[in-house]
Amino acid sequence: MPLQLFDAMAREGFEELVALHDSESGMRALLAIHDTSRGPAFGGIRRWSYSVESTALMDALRLARAMTRKCVLLDLPCGGGKIVMLDREGLDLKQAYGAIGRAVERLNGHYYTGPDVNTGPEELGYVSAETSYCTDPGLEGPGELANCTAEGVFQGIEAALVSLDGEVDWSQRKVLIQGLGAVGEMLARRLLEQGARVLASEIDPERVHAVSASLEVEMVEPGTEMEAACDVFAPCALGGILHDLSVERLQCKVVAGGANNPLSRMEHGERLHQRGILFVPDFVINAGALVRGSIFHLEGRREPVAVVGGRVRRSVERVLSAAQESGTAPIATALRLADGAES
Ligand code: NAD
């Protein structure tokens, strides 16, 4: 390991980084635990084909870091963690996720895991066969988590539009969702119920087919979504999509979605602010699953979806009004509130 790794961990206050390997399946994964000073770490499992190991490492660290910020801003008695699994063709998912489950079990409640990109109910079933420290959405678990994330995003978008325009009037609003996965689809459904016009981009043709068979979503070509004129751009796919080029292309009033770490660098949130685009920080608006999962595990309650959404909404309102008062970008305000309270 290069020495800079320890410098990076020290700079951001990371506690633990574990490399996981299972000889039987060939599973390779990284488990990052950021901060457990408030309580056990929570964070899902992301499975992705990373081109190089260092990208997977950076993803694990950034995702775990964001989880701690969510815990602080939502005032939850837990901290941030994350697993990233290096995907490859032919990986036996049952064995690979089973090995992850055994690794989580060994931590004996120091870390709870759950869903993230490419880890849904089926994969979580393999994990929870080996450990009880998993937010399995089955009958014994906390219930549908992506739904809670989508509800928080929906209510957070409402709060953002109210803070800008004083009202929402969904019948006059156009929202573009990038990524129609678990969160994106549920967000689309919620917006359509309210009468909004919903556009979306999705790279997986099977998902396009499945979602457009049941929802009236207008599909746009992936790669063109940044230029589409709309009220709200909702990133619900992967991180790092807001960078030097894309922040200049956006034609929306608000950027607010489920995706973790959509900003390539924090400065891009400042740039959106300069451009008059309201960026609602991801670690404020996408905490619904964490709220539901952590309350279920730590307090034994299944918080209703609407209550989870309301909690996220109040957190978004708090950050946006503090940003307005101080005249700073919401990203700067959210970081100050989260990191200031942490230390
Ligand atoms: P998912 O894997 O179910 O969905 C992601 C979707 O995005 C997939 O359908 C994928 O094909 C699509 N996609 C990927 N790259 C794309 C691109 N460039 N353009 C268009 N579509 C693209 O994942 P999810 O659970 O819906 O999570 C989505 C995002 O929300 C992730 O960043 C995740 O970390 C974050 N998040 C999810 C939850 C949750 O409860 N599931 C909670 C907090 C944050």
* Gap between the Cα atoms of 28 and 164, Å rounded: 45
Q: Which atom of ligand 1 is nearest to the CA of 282?
A: 44
Q: Whose CA is closest to 190, among 225, 228, 222, 232?
A: 232
CATH of segment(s) 146-287+314-342? 3.40.50.720
Residues 81, 32: contact at Cβ < 8 Å? yes
Task: Output the pLDDT for position 306.
Answer: 97
Flag whether the pTM goes above 0.85.
yes
Known active-site residue 253 = no
Q: Are 292 and 308 in contact (CB under 8 A)?
A: yes
pLDDT at 66: 96
pLDDT tens sequence for the chain (343 residues): 556 889 989 999 999 999 999 999 999 999 999 999 999 999 999 999 999 999 999 999 999 999 999 999 999 999 999 999 999 999 999 999 999 999 999 999 999 999 899 998 899 999 999 999 998 767 777 888 899 999 999 999 999 999 999 999 999 999 999 999 999 999 999 999 999 999 999 999 999 999 999 999 999 999 999 999 999 999 999 999 999 999 999 999 999 999 999 999 999 999 999 999 999 999 999 999 999 999 999 999 999 999 999 999 999 999 999 999 999 999 999 999 999 855 4
Residue 2 confidence (pLDDT): 54
Q: Which pLDDT score, from 0 to 100, does residue 343 have? A: 44
Distance 114 CA to ligand 1 centre (A): 14
The answer to whether the 2-61+76-128 and 146-287+314-342 domains have the same CATH topology is yes
Distance CA 181, CA 237 (A): 7
Domain boundaries, the chain: 2-61+76-128, 146-287+314-342
CA distance 262 to 113: 22
Atom of ligand 1 nearest to the CA of 258: 30
Q: How many residues does the chain have?
A: 343
Distances (CA, A) of 24 to 45, 90, 97, 113, 317: 20, 13, 12, 22, 49
Regarding the beta carbon of 203 and ligand 1, being less than 6 Å apart is answered: yes
Task: Give residue 239 CA to ligand 1 midpoint distance, Å.
Answer: 9
Superfamily of domain 2-61+76-128: Leucine Dehydrogenase, chain A, domain 1 (3.40.50.10860)
Nearest alpha carbon, ligand 1 atom 14: 237
CB 272 within 8 A of CB 279: yes
CA dihedral 98, 79, 178, 331 (to 10 degrees): -160
